[in-house]
Amino acid sequence: MTWTLVIHGGAGKLDSEMVSPEQDTGARAGLSRALNTGSKVLADGGGALDAVEAAVRVLEDDPHFNSGRGAVFTHDGTLELDAAIMDGRTRAAGAVAAATATRNPVGLARAILDDGHHVFLAGKGADAFSLERDLPQADAAWFATDERRRQFAEFQANGGGFDVDMKYGTVGAVACDTLGHVAAATSTGGVTGKRWGRIGDTPVIGAGTFADDRACAVSCTGSGEFFLRVGVGHEIAARVRLSGESLQVAADAVLAEVKALGGTGGVIVAGPDGDMAWGFNTVGMYRGRASSVGSRTVAIYANEPA
């Protein structure tokens, strides 16, 4: 059976005026590395769950994206990392919010899934669980980048405020393996200047991350408050499973709901039959896809070929 992999690195104000040539080149290279890594897992007969974790790890280590290394700063100048992963075979899931020291938050989410006692850990508890499981740790110097410091300084100079159409965003991956199982993983540093322990849709199962072999796997990026209210991941899967809609029709319909509420962003979707889709209501989305039949795409802007 055909295997498929779709990845994203965030959606928002991504056009030639906002994205420098260096950022364009670096982001495309990072997306290609993530596709290569996840594709190798699938091509070697590995499972969708392992493939999405592997692809997201690559993106977390790449400072061109807002997750792991390259995460944005909170209002207090700290870093809080969110991630989730879900297995479509059993709907087992693991999620983490406001982690501070795990080098790869998606690995922490995977450890929670594998442990099986809980689904969602946050803050100090998530950090403690990470240490108990001997996961690789990193300090703030690893996660922070000069570009994020510049953005934070600009945020402070402008008096703060939430921009729905963010330039940088979440990373994620969805996949279908050769056995027809799907999985999803998503990771983010949140939004610049977030306060009061704010958590977006990324680690919330059914909102920013969802996978069900009966329907599809979904990973989201965008204005989390709106994606939470719509329950985007589960909503897309429900339309596919219960109404028989195609992945593309379901993704477009749910993104229209998000837009109607005032939100922006994008989604990537993979079905158990090898079908793939993505959609976004912004001017661009860092994205890529690959399959065992040889098709491969890396793109950023809305007008690039699908």
Half-sphere exposure of 296 toward its Cβ, with a 13 Å CA cutoff?
11
231 is in an annotated binding site: no
199 is in an annotated binding site: yes
209 SS3 class: strand
pLDDT of residue 230: 98
| 221 domain residue, yes or no | yes
Q: pTM to 2 decimals?
A: 0.96
| 211 domain residue, yes or no | yes
Tokens 């991630």 correspond to what residue? 83
pLDDT of residue 167: 54
| 239 domain residue, yes or no | yes
| 306 domain residue, yes or no | no
236 is in an annotated binding site: no
Contact by Cβ (8 Å): 304, 15: no
Q: How far apart are CA 8 and CA 23, in angstroms?
A: 15
**Residues marked as catalytic:** 170
Contact by Cβ (8 Å): 269, 251: yes
Contact by Cβ (8 Å): 12, 168: yes
pLDDT of residue 24: 92
pLDDT of residue 164: 41
Measured from the Cβ of residue 125, the count of other Cβ atoms closer than 10 Å reads 13
Half-sphere exposure of 16 toward its Cβ, with a 13 Å CA cutoff?
2
Helix intervals (H) in the chain? 21-43, 48-60, 105-115, 123-132, 140-143, 146-157, 224-230, 232-243, 247-261
Q: What is the pLDDT along the chain (306 residues), one digit of tens a residue?
A: 899 999 999 998 888 788 889 999 999 999 999 999 999 999 999 999 999 999 999 999 999 999 999 999 998 989 999 999 999 999 999 999 999 999 999 999 999 999 999 999 999 999 999 999 999 999 989 999 888 888 888 888 877 665 544 555 799 999 999 999 999 999 999 888 888 999 999 999 999 999 999 999 999 999 999 999 999 999 999 999 999 999 999 999 999 999 999 999 999 999 999 999 999 999 999 999 999 998 899 999 998 876
| 57 domain residue, yes or no | yes
Contact by Cβ (8 Å): 43, 61: no
pLDDT of residue 165: 43
221 is in an annotated binding site: yes
Q: Say how many domains are in the chain.
A: 1
Nearest in space to 31 (alpha carbons), one of 289, 209, 213, 293 = 289
pLDDT of residue 174: 99
Find the CATH number of the domain harbouring 287.
3.60.20.30
| 149 domain residue, yes or no | yes
Work out the burial of residue 216: count CB atoms within 10 Å of its CB; fewer than 13 is exposed, 13-18 middle, 19 or more buried: buried
46 is in an annotated binding site: no
Q: Which domain holds residue 75?
A: 4-301
